[in-house]
A and B are shown apart, each in its own frame.
Chain A
């Protein structure tokens, strides 16, 4: 009984010594080395760009850029083309997101439904949209569907087209999310008297949505990025305004850099917002 030296097979509390020291970190794996690398790489890029610019004899004229955002004429503030374009892009993004999610949800539910017609319809839509270039779809919407359906509004034609495009990808994510909820949840819903719609609303979607949020954010980010393609069909969104501005001013480097940055701010804010939302939901569950 007193033989405690040989009882290594039964580690009592504190019998196994925890590692007292962390193994020394290798210097090339340290955060500091990462930062040094990053700065060095950044410096190299700036230097290379600068040299290229000098060789091209490009004259930076950043001072002309504020006019692209706003002007004050007779004490009155007038928004410049980049702000106008930004607002249109935000409008496309906002409506586009709502429609993308609605189309994605409806398609997913149709594919999971018992209705054969519904499933075929969904499948045809998905295959068509996914296997043709977006630019061709935009053209068809704009040059063919718009006159046929008598919509006289390139902005809404564009929003619809983008929503149908992104909605096809969203539907896959939504479908996978719905499928990840176990069959027992449907059955339990049925036994407490819920119909299919109520089961979706109160039982299945609340469990599926948190799983769908991260991949759906990717789709919504794509929506913002792909909205640039609408500059092809005379929607006055950010990219169109940028192109027109450059045609007028020849500030191509400045404008494209700034416009790129504006897209970046939009997409990254969206991702962070969703991440925040997700954390909220998790904290609640």
Chain B
């Protein structure tokens, strides 16, 4: 077991949470480029993990491996007891438990906000139209845009679009939510409306894995901070330790830059 393996074990002993995502010794290459190097990361049910690190360090690739938007070449990824393999049935089982929010929103531009939210529940979950609508309205209210239900994504601001994207994911009733820099494409004045929704989601007990450089949000919400560089997890700690006493120089440099930019 690597260092992080032991850290992981320790954390779970402390928090008493059952693991919901297990990543062990995962390696991945893009052709010759070693993008993930011996990654060990265990996430407990209800835990909030914030991943940060310089551009190109493999953060997106890591979380995209969890729902098979990318495939890993070595190691084990297990989500809620299901090991991720090439088997399509497992992939779709895992995807049905994992929601994802993208930097670029990726809303369906030809569908209304409401239809964006009901598409998955109707087609993949087999819900009736009425039930799906009720469900969608419930979550659109949670993200505070029920009044936009009949608009098309292009008619909304970036912040509103990202909140729709969150609602769309939640409509699939996932156990885990992945966020890949959800606020990076937003104008500054819209960042908070999205972070507020994410904070509420965190308070509701959702398991969350967020790639973000919003350190204020990380301090408030994270149970665990993960710092990646060059495809490795360099540091993993509670936010208190992470921000006050980072161990590695790489992490110090990074925090220096990001906190005083």
Chain A interface (Cβ < 8 Å from any Cβ of B): 182, 184-185, 187-188, 190-195, 198, 202-203, 206-207, 285
Query: Given A207-B109, A285-B110, is A191 in contact with B98 using a C-beta cutoff of 8 Å?
Result: yes
Chain B interface (Cβ < 8 Å from any Cβ of A): 67-69, 92, 95-96, 98-100, 102, 104, 106-110, 119-120, 123-125, 152, 168-169, 171-172
Nearest first, the 3 closest Cβ-Cβ pairs linking A and B are A193-B124, A192-B120, A188-B106
Q: With a CB–CB cut-off of 8 A, which chain B residues contact A203?
A: 108, 119
What are some 26 contacts across the A-B interface (CB < 8 A)?
Answer: A184-B102, A185-B106, A185-B108, A187-B100, A187-B102, A188-B106, A188-B108, A190-B69, A190-B95, A191-B69, A191-B95, A191-B99, A191-B169, A192-B120, A192-B124, A192-B171, A192-B172, A193-B92, A193-B95, A193-B123, A193-B124, A194-B120, A203-B108, A203-B119, A206-B110, A285-B152
Interface of A is mostly: helix
Interface of B is mostly: loop
Which among B102, B110, B152 is the interface contact of A188 at CB below 8 angstroms?
A: B102
| A186 CB, nearest partner CB in chain B, Å | 9
Q: With a CB–CB cut-off of 8 A, which chain A residues contact B69?
A: 187, 190-191
| B196 CB, nearest partner CB in chain A, Å | 22
Query: Given A187-B69, A202-B119, is A194 in contact with B106 using a C-beta cutoff of 8 Å?
Result: no
Tell me the bound Cα distance from A206 to B68 in angstroms.
Answer: 25
Tell me the bound Cα distance from A195 to B123 in angstroms.
Answer: 9
Our count of residue pairs bridging A and B at CB distance below 8 angstroms stands at: 60
CB closest residue in chain A, given B96: A193
Q: With a CB–CB cut-off of 8 A, which chain B residues contact A207?
A: 108-110
Tell me the bound Cα distance from A79 to B68 in angstroms.
Answer: 63
Instruction: Flag if B106 contacts A184 (CB, 8 Å).
Output: yes
Tell me the bound Cα distance from A182 to B109 in angstroms.
Answer: 11
Q: With a CB–CB cut-off of 8 A, which chain B residues contact A195?
A: 92, 124
Instruction: Flag if A191 contacts B92 (CB, 8 Å).
Output: no
Tell me the bound Cα distance from A14 to B168 in angstroms.
Answer: 46
Instruction: Flag if B169 contacts A192 (CB, 8 Å).
Output: yes
| A209 CB, nearest partner CB in chain B, Å | 10
| B228 CB, nearest partner CB in chain A, Å | 21
Tell me the bound Cα distance from A185 to B102 in angstroms.
Answer: 11
Q: With a CB–CB cut-off of 8 A, which chain B residues contact A206?
A: 110
Tell me the bound Cα distance from A168 to B188 in angstroms.
Answer: 49
